[in-house]
Amino acid sequence: MSKGKTLIEVEGLKKYFNVGGGGVLKAVNDISFSIAEGETLGLVGESGCGKSTAGRTILRLYEPTAGSVRFNGVDINTLSPGKMKAMRRDMQMIFQDPYASLNPRFTVTDIIGEALDIHKMAGSRKERKKRVEELLDMVGLNPDHATRYPHEFSGGQRQRIGIARALAVNPKFIICDEPISALDVSIQAQVVNLLEDLQNRLGLTYLFIAHDLSMVKHISDRVAVMYLGRIVELAESEELYANPLHPYTKTLLSAIPIPDPEIEANKKRIIHEDHGNGPIHTDKDASVSGGTYDLENSELVEVSKGHFVSMPKKG
């Protein structure tokens, strides 16, 4: 993997949602990181900690509450709708929920073809059909099934339609939100090899959101751990797994299920005590417990080269 200049720069990004009763839900609460061209940054964390929201806000599918996202040096939140549309071609997302994100009335050809049409990449009818078939083959689906509808596929097959759609427009940056969790492990391996191969050939850059920590370790150059809307640890993947520092990271790594009944039978998990209310902040309850310290008043500190961990702010 040839890592080049910085492609994505996220700075102080926040996304809040209003919830009932004057409450504010700080789904993404001040995150900053950058990703180099050709790099894969893994993003892991508790369910509901804000990973998908972060992904959507980075692509401006949600307007951020605060902060900026620069793509190739350009602040995308300042772009006009027309410029943003063109930019969308370079930045794609594979969605977590393959059911909700595929139009049930469209055939597979239409779903993938639509992406091509939007960016005027389809060419003649024949070329369009050929490109769709090529993409289906690439993700391990039978091109003969191009005329079928999403509900006629299994969960994992639908996920692959979403992957084919994202790849259709030759993007530079892809946010993969749980792209493989619905697939069996042999197809996971196929898809991950495909993503890695495309990265090597075309220099693609990935933000890879997943719960499967073995796979995240495999695919990522660096890994960021999120907890309650914030990044609590970030390091090179080997370093993070060998030397986790934040209590939440330690809990997470201790809970990885190992495909060996003998190891599973003797496993000890670290239980993470958390008495907080999660990311909902009401007027009455403004602070949040991140275990042993106040996350709201924390900062990322570089403890060794490239290894950052969240600590209470000094002073």
Partner 1 sequence: MEPILQVKDLHVSFQVKGGEVKAVRGMNFEVGKGETVAIVGESGSGKSVTAQTIMRLIPSPPSIVKQGEILFQGQDILKKSNKQMEAIRGKDIGMIFQDPMTSLNPTIRIGKQITEVLIKHQKMSAGEAKKRAIEMLKLVGIKNAEARFNQYPHEFSGGMRQRAMIAIALACRPSLLIADEPTTALDVTIQAQIMDVMKDMQERLGTSIILITHDLGVVAGMCDRVIVMYAGEVVESGTKWEIFKNPQHPYTKGLLRSMPRLDQKKGEPLIPIIGTPPDLIKPPIGCPFAARCDKAMKVCERIDPEATVFSDTHLARCWNLHPMAKEVHPNE
Q: Kindly list the residues in this chain that would bind Mg ion in the complex (CB under 5 A).
A: 52, 96, 154-155
Q: How far is the CB of 207 from partner 1 (least distance, A)?
A: 16
Q: How far is the CB of 65 from Mg ion (least distance, A)?
A: 18
DSSP state of 297: G
Q: How far is the CB of 99 from Mg ion (least distance, A)?
A: 11
Residue 155 contacts partner 1 per CB under 8 A? yes
Give kind and range of the element (H or E) at residue 241: helix 237-242
Among 103, 214, 287, 304, binds partner 1 (CB under 8 A): 214
Quickly count: other Cβ atoms within 10 Å of residue 157's Cβ. 21
Contact set for ligand ATP, span 184-203 (CB under 6 A): 184
Q: How far is the CB of 108 from ligand ATP (least distance, A)?
A: 11
Burial of 23 (0-12, 13-18, 19+ CB in 10 A): middle
Residue 129 contacts partner 1 per CB under 8 A? no
For residues 252 and 204, what is the distance between their CA atoms, to the nearest angstrom?
Answer: 28
Residue 99 contacts ligand ATP per CB under 6 A? no
Among 54, 175, 182, 232, binds partner 1 (CB under 8 A): 182
Residue 52 contacts ligand ATP per CB under 6 A? yes
Q: How far is the CB of 29 from ligand ATP (least distance, A)?
A: 10
**In this complex, which beta carbon is closest to ligand ATP, that of residue 8 or of residue 36?**
8
For residues 51 and 43, what is the distance between their CA atoms, to the nearest angstrom?
Answer: 7
Q: How far is the CB of 262 from partner 1 (least distance, A)?
A: 8
Q: How far is the CB of 231 from ligand ATP (least distance, A)?
A: 12
55 CB-near residues (< 8 Å, 6+ apart): 43, 93, 175, 177, 207, 209
Write the CA distances from 116 to 16, 55, 66, 128, 164, integer angstroms.
33, 22, 32, 8, 11
- Give me the helices (H) in 105-184, please: 108-118, 125-138, 155-168
Tokens coding 42? 């893994």
Residue 189 contacts partner 1 per CB under 8 A? yes
For residues 244 and 232, what is the distance between their CA atoms, to the nearest angstrom?
Answer: 11
Closest CA to 76 of 105, 86, 5, 222: 86
Write the CA distances from 201 to 34, 37, 38, 177, 197, integer angstroms.
22, 13, 10, 22, 6
**In this complex, which beta carbon is closest to partner 1, that of residue 116 or of residue 245?**
245
Contact set for partner 1, span 232-291 (CB under 8 A): 237-238, 241, 251-252, 255-261, 263-264, 267, 269, 272, 274, 276-278, 280, 282
Per-residue contact string for residues 15-44; x = within reach of partner 1 by CB under 8 A:
--x-xxx-x--------------------x
**In this complex, which beta carbon is closest to Mg ion, that of residue 15 or of residue 307?**
15
Q: Give the CB-nearest residue to Mg ion.
A: 52
Closest CA to 102 of 85, 115, 89, 90: 115
Number of residues that bind ligand ATP (CB under 6 A): 21
Binding site for ligand ATP (CB under 6 A): 17, 25, 27, 45, 47-53, 96, 151-157, 184, 279
